[in-house]
Amino acid sequence: MSTFTGVRIWSRTGKLVANCAVPVNSSKAHRSKAPNWPTLLWYKPNCLLVADGKSDLLEINPLVIDAKNKLEWKHVHSLHKRGLYCIASQAPRIQGPTEAHWPVWTVSQDRNLIKFDMKTKNPIATYGSCGGYIYKIEACPYDAGKIAVSVGDGAVRVWQTDTLENDDSKLGPGKLTTHWQNVQGKVLKLAWHPIRENMLAFSTAEARVGIIDTSGKNEKPAKALLPALRGGVYSLCWGDGFNLYACGGGELVIYQADKKDQFPTHVNVVVEGQRWDLSEVQWRARGLVVGSGTGAVAVLSAATPHTLLAVAFPFTKMIYTIDWHPQQISTSNEESPFKNLIAVCSLDKQGDIVILEFCDNEDTKELKKLKTLSAHKAPVHDITWSPHRDAQLLSSSADGTYKVWDVAEGVVSHVLVGPCASALCATWSSFPAQAHAVLTGGSDYSLRLWDIRNYPAEAFDDSQYPQLLLKKDKKKLKDKREMRKKEEYIVEPEEQIAATLDTKVKSSRKYLLPTISRQMNNGKIDGARRVFKNYMAKQEGRVYVPGAHDKQEYDLEYLKIFGSMKDVNDVLDNEMERHLETGNLEPWIILSIFRGHIEDMIQFASQRDMLCPYLLSIAPCVSFKYWKDATQLYLTQIDRLVARGEEERLSGMLLFLISLIRSLKVF
């Protein structure tokens, strides 16, 4: 099959048996959008499946050839939206004479995987997939079965589902719609309009904000609003009427969604004469809550112009998500007693969640810190209150876990662990009968549905999930394993005596000149101790006299490195002696080269089987004859290593000496 969708069948002798011209859309606009992917599958002896380069699947019978050696094609399905590029089946390569039908799988650029029945010519199932991180899951406020998902592959998915007829506690497969036209970027946030049906706002990492109309059976192009922000727009929410609040790059703007050509209005939050760089915004009828890049939270009046009502400073890092407890839950007809609670999370590495309480008194309005929830080991990305139960909070964190909190008690009630390294977003199911169900998304490119009743906090053990361990925890675990290995190793009495006799002073192998490094980098605690002693002496009216310990700190031996040649050689000799005492032989060899003791260094390395090609290359500095002698020492060392069974190391050494025959003899 060629790039221009021409199918040809050839015999073993190279003769053209038949050919078929698959139709191609003649529209120039279509040809300019994407290339064609020639895709072919020999499904059965009398069935050849071909992709037409667009989104249609065609069928050709290679056994039916007309007088002009032409093949006829038939249309199978056009269920994909664009770019069909893969066809697969479970049909075996060797098939029997019996008639059998195997399902056919097709994949296209719309990221849908379709399972098709070739006998009935009907689709069996359609599986949607994602090509990027899932950054936000937004449940529709007026349609419990409609869920919007923002994905990093430049598209917005809208999942329309419903509960099963015979079981309200389970969701059906539903229908997945992908909106990609005019989105053109990594989608970060979504927001359903609370009153206007099928009106969905989105924001991208490229500072774009737009509106999507999700009504109808077919996908509609998104409508982009005028650009006004810079950087990623990580916060988006609807306000009164068609006011759309967007926050990005430290700025907050208000779009008029019904007036798409109108430039947005900037909102400045000034506290104590200082303008805030904003990172998060959420609008409620009681007020507008904003978070700053320095960890502060403020409540403003809901109506414009937004005036400051209360301020709190729960964090020192950028506020990431703010969520206000619903005024009324689905299982009650009265206002919730927790309606004043505001949950806040930030990029703080401690992974804390702060619960603030907004006190709306007649005289004063205050934002109090009620409690702090601590259980995550990394920054928290998303938090959301349950719409069905009071004081139940769901959080997702960079440590890879999703936690359900009982805020009234301040404890974790359920823990969910996904397969990905980072949990980015989560939300509750909108169906009251599924108050125990949550939807999660993260860096695994998947949308998952959980039943939290199956994951109580008491049954959670983080040691069973190595991906949840931080770097310091992984290091501790590695140290424990090494300690166990050492404990399992039993030292023989003779070896133990030899090890005791050979015990030497430990020194750091980090420096080539450890003595000089130690003298030049005196500990700061010693200087602080001397300053404190001097201060106490002045307070007591006496003169501070340095002790013997303090005098030892002023060792200026390292200054000789800047002196005469004799002084420099003395310093190097002292360092070499120190290396011999501590058993650091490689630094001793390097310093011997600096001192010019090439002959002594070669003899020293030969006695300890430490000769290498680099040291041999330095041997001609003494004489050509000495280089020959050093080479003989090197060959003798190789013979000794052969007896020890180190063949792999010896092969590399012999190849360096261009002795291929001897290298092969080793094996």
Same domain? 97 vs 156: no
Q: Would residue 496 count as lying in a domain? A: no
> Do residues 99 and 143 both lie within one domain?
no
Domains: count for the chain? 3
Q: Is residue 482 part of a domain?
A: no
Clarify whether residues 58 and 205 are in a common domain.
no
Question: 121 with 266, same domain?
Answer: no
pLDDT, tens digit (0-9, with 9 covering 90-100), for 189-226:
999 999 999 999 999 999 999 999 998 888 889 999 99
Q: How far apart are CA 609 and CA 5, in angstroms?
A: 68
Identify the domain boundary among 107, 128, 149.
128
- The reply to whether 612 falls in a domain is yes
Residues 118 and 200 in one domain: no
Whole-angstrom Cα distance, residue 463 to residue 585?
42
Q: Do 123 and 151 fall into the same domain? A: no
State whether 24 and 149 are in the same domain. no
Above pLDDT 70, what percent of the chain?
Answer: 83
- Per-residue pLDDT of 137-152, as tens digits, reads 999 999 999 999 999 9
Same domain, 98 and 153: no
DSSP string, 477-545: HHHHHHHHHHHHPPPPHHHHHHHHHT------SS-SSHHHHHHHS--HHHHHHHHHHHHHHHHTT----
As a whole number, mean pLDDT of residues 558-566 equals 75
Total-model pTM: 0.67
Q: Is residue 253 part of a domain?
A: yes
| 53 and 176 both lie in a single domain | no
If you average pLDDT over every residue of the chain, what do you get? 83
Q: Examine the fold and report which residue of 445, 468, 491 is the final residue of a domain before the chain moves on.
A: 468
φ and ψ at residue 634, rounded to 5 degrees: -65, -40
Any domain includes 67: yes
Q: Tens digits of per-residue pLDDT, 587-597?
A: 888 888 888 88
Same-domain check for residues 210 and 340? yes
Cβ(437)–Cβ(446) under 8 Å? no
Q: Is residue 365 part of a domain?
A: yes
CA distance 34 to 468: 41
Do residues 220 and 72 both lie within one domain? no
**Structural tokens at position 381:** 């990305």
- Looking at 414, 433, 468, the residue that finishes a domain is 468
Token code pair at residue 247:
């926050």
Note down the domain range covering 625.
514-666
| 113 is a domain residue | yes
Q: Where residue 348 sits, what CATH number does that domain have?
A: 2.130.10.10
- Residue 481: inside a domain, yes or no? no
Residue 40 to residue 88: CA distance in whole angstroms = 9
> pLDDT of 408-417, one tens digit each?
999 999 999 9
* 462 and 534 assigned to the same domain: no
Q: What are the percentages of helix, strand and coil residues in the chain, rounded to 5?
A: 25, 35, 40
Above 90 in pLDDT, residue 659?
no
